[in-house]
Amino acid sequence: VFSVQADKPGAAVSPTMWGIFFEDINLGADGGLYAELIKNRSFEFFKPLMGWQIRNSKATGTLNFGSNLLMINRPERAETNPRYLQVTLNKTPKDSLGLTNEGFRGMGIKKDLRYDFSVLYRLQSGNAKIHLELVSEKGEIIGSGVFAPKNTGDVWQKGETSFTASATDPKAKLNIWFEGTGVLDVDMLSLFPGDTWKGRKGGLRADMVQILADLKPGFIRFPGGCIVEGHDLSVRYQWKRTIGPIEERKLVVNRWNYEFAHRPTPDYFQTFGLGFLEYFQMAEDIGAEPLPILNCGMACQFNSAEVAPLEDLAPYVQDALDLIEFANGSTATKWGKMRADLGHPAPFKLKMLGVGNENWGPQYIERLKIFQAALKREHPEIQLVCSSGIAPTGELFDYLNGELRAMKADFIDEHYYSRPEWFLANAKRYDTYDRKSKSKVFAGEYAGQSDKTVSVLNKNNWRTALAEAAYMTGLERNADVVQMASYAPLFGHVDGWQWKPNLIWVDNLKTMPTPNYQVQKLYSNHKGSQVVPILYKDKLPATGQDSLYASAMLDQTSNELIIKIVNASAKQQLTQVNIDGVKKLDGPAKLITLQHDNLEAENTMEQPGVIAPIESVIQTKGRGIEMEIKGHSFSVIRVNL
């Protein structure tokens, strides 16, 4: 028997309670959310022709005399975009000289959709054409277009053309053939689908943004994760390099390029087409508070662990101050004006900022104190998110948490990647949290690991999702201290991942919600506004007694009671839920259930709905509900008060 004390509302639930952790890992941004289809569009990867293949005559297999391709490298003249391709044409016929781009594990192409090609080019003299051919995996041409460059003298110009695909293919390629006479320089060869999010040119994959929007997230943390830190400090994430014209955004090797020999991705770079303006814009679009995390002067503790000396920290701190001005400053300020010039005069209303990610030890605290002093002096209105590492890792974790509390950190960012049993056993983790400290908890990264952390054997199975659901009752019951939480990582591309498990799997055309996603969505979509006590057998909260876990919330806007119950056992359990302190209830209540008998069950790209919410109506009687709680289930009950 559960008793819900609906007349004893407690802590308010933070509007930011359930959110999103985004990182460019597993082709999350380049090759994923950022809808660019051409890999290595500006030839800046370590090997200039990574992703490209040179093509010569279809008919003879030889180059026609006097035509050639030359890679020009001029870092001394163009630091951010040093390479371009020079195409020399000499009465070159179509189909005799060109390039093929393989895309990011192929290109996802949709029948009847428009594709927008663009190129930066200059043509000093002569007469040239660029022919485009989308080629399916089977080798059929499924879309073609032509672009005719004008004579531009020595001036680079952007050229564009669009065409429509005639068939769907998940793994197409793009042929680019050059025809004519003259010297044609090309750079930033780009192809975008016509159905980007909100129709923005050069924008984001709409289905991937939509599946995030469906979570109704309270916040979005970006850009990571370890990529904030970088493999070493030279390739740390620097937000100022991610805004403005895309050809000026200097790419860096992705920190995840170095990882995990079992899934080598030596072609993983960050082009920053999805940069800080786009992140802020996406947050605004999906109604989530932006939560940028910045480098604190320390590189990834799992890689070089390079540390900036304290006397060199000033530019790092300045980046943080400037970011606040970029997000919130009036258009009369330098960075506020920059935001307006980039097309967003209205401020983004930034309220929180993170400094550091999983940076451990006294060196982090030393650096954080410098950031904290400067940020609190200049911007006391901004809440600081401070990183404490991976729980439970014993002394280091305890040391950091102690130091952060002593510093009165606004938020302590705890991460946990653990076995499902850990999540079940720790549903009471925050019941005894030190409430004297003013610091609030941000459960910034967590995910149940069916095998070991980062193991290739990890699965997004129902066992992990159900354990997370049980654990989250504890986060929710303790909403006075836990004010933000996000699962991590977010996206995984089925053909290009470095980490498992992930909340959402994607291929080049589709997204696939995991059971873990469904759990997150139920929590976020049924958040409520105030915690109310829910006792089990009139005594304590359910934190595993009879394998049951529960939390209850009031939704003051809709005047509903929201009850969440996890049954982690295989047994169906007959349960009475008494609701105290309300008028008699006699009417329908809504029940939403996630359930599967088999804890190993998973959703797949082919069968994405194996574990999906099922809605039904149940009856309230008197002041309660009697219901059968199925084995291995997570139920959300909404009762009108």
Report in angstroms how near the CB of residue 224 gets to ligand AHR at its nearest: 5
CA distances from 460 to 447, 449, 457 (A): 9, 8, 10
Helices (H) and strands (E) in the chain, counts: 10, 32
What single DSSP character describes residue 241? G
Angle at 636 between CA 634 and CA 638, to 5 degrees: 165
Q: Between 25 and 220, whose beta carbon lies closer to ligand AHR?
A: 25
Distance from C-alpha of 498 to C-alpha of 31, rounded to nearest angstrom: 13
Contact flag: residue 448 with ligand AHR (CB under 6 A) = no
The overall longest dimension of the chain from CA atoms, in Å, is 91
Residue of the chain from 226, 286, 293, 512 that contacts ligand AHR (CB under 6 A): 226
Contact flag: residue 356 with ligand AHR (CB under 6 A) = no
Contact flag: residue 28 with ligand AHR (CB under 6 A) = no
Contact flag: residue 225 with ligand AHR (CB under 6 A) = yes
CB 105 within 8 A of CB 171: yes
Contact flag: residue 424 with ligand AHR (CB under 6 A) = no
Contact flag: residue 251 with ligand AHR (CB under 6 A) = no
Residue of the chain from 107, 252, 488, 566 that contacts ligand AHR (CB under 6 A): 488
Contact flag: residue 224 with ligand AHR (CB under 6 A) = yes
What single DSSP character describes residue 537? T
Contact flag: residue 531 with ligand AHR (CB under 6 A) = no
Contact flag: residue 180 with ligand AHR (CB under 6 A) = no
Among 484, 511, 487, smallest CA distance to 499 is for 487
Report in angstroms how near the CB of residue 296 gets to ligand AHR at its nearest: 13
Residue of the chain from 275, 489, 496, 515 that contacts ligand AHR (CB under 6 A): 489
Q: Which residue is nearest to ligand AHR (CB)?
A: 225
CA distances from 146 to 128, 176, 182, 495 (A): 11, 9, 17, 31
Contact flag: residue 414 with ligand AHR (CB under 6 A) = no
Contact flag: residue 499 with ligand AHR (CB under 6 A) = yes
- List the catalytic residue out of 102, 278, 358, 403: 358
| Size (the chain), residues | 641
Contact flag: residue 223 with ligand AHR (CB under 6 A) = no
Side chain identity at residue 559, one-letter code: N
Q: Between 265 and 328, whose beta carbon lies closer to ligand AHR?
A: 265
Report in angstroms how near the CB of residue 160 gets to ligand AHR at its nearest: 36
Contact flag: residue 359 with ligand AHR (CB under 6 A) = no
Cβ within 8 Å of residue 337, ≥6 positions away: 331
What single DSSP character describes residue 234? G
Side chain identity at residue 313, one-letter code: L
Cβ within 8 Å of residue 373, ≥6 positions away: none
Q: Looking at 34-42, 223-231, 538-546, 554-562, which segment touches ligand AHR (CB under 6 A)?
A: 223-231
Cβ within 8 Å of residue 78, ≥6 positions away: none
Looking at the DSSP bridge assignments, the partners of residue 574 are: 628
Q: Between 23 and 36, whose beta carbon lies closer to ligand AHR?
A: 23
Reply yes or no on whether 366 is catalytic.
no
Query: Catalytic residue positions?
Result: 358
Q: What is the binding site for ligand AHR (CB under 6 A)?
A: 23, 25, 224-226, 357-358, 445, 488-489, 499
